[in-house]
Amino acid sequence: MIASTTVVNVRQMCPNDFDAVFEIEQRNAKHAWTKQQIIESLQCTQVLILDQKLAGFVVLRTIIDQAELQNISIHNDCQLLGYGEYLLNHGINNLANSVNKVYLEVRVSNFSAIRLYNKMGFLEIGQRRDYYPTEFGREDALTMCLGIV
């Protein structure tokens, strides 16, 4: 759980954050985003700051009345402490008032992410066959949706 002595802040990503975000992405993702993809997501990325150190990021892209969770990652040293849920909740709560649904795709093998999304109220609405590349071929994705009231 989040330590009461930890100073937690979430803010919009800025260009000075690119290297730290890229490092977290490289450490955590088997098929990581490129630095260019991170740069292109500047306007829709929020970063998690713990005691003045960048510890995670979330990318939520909004189109009219829907949002898509495109990426979320927490530094290895800060995982399993509730920061992923905190960051995603913060991102969803700060979407435009017009947004009424949040969609995402997640690897069928990413059990910890699926558990988090289920806990937050996301529901499985479909599957995408062979959506993600793997070391040995392709892997299916679950498509999930959260209705915002």
Active site (catalytic) residues: 105, 117
Q: How far apart are CA 71 and CA 108, in angstroms?
A: 15
Q: What distance in Å separates the CA atoms of residue 144 and residue 41, rounded to the nearest whole number?
A: 21
59 touches 41 (CB < 8 A): yes
- List the 101-107 sheet strands across, edge first: 8-12, 45-50, 53-63, 66-74, 101-107, 137-147, 123-134
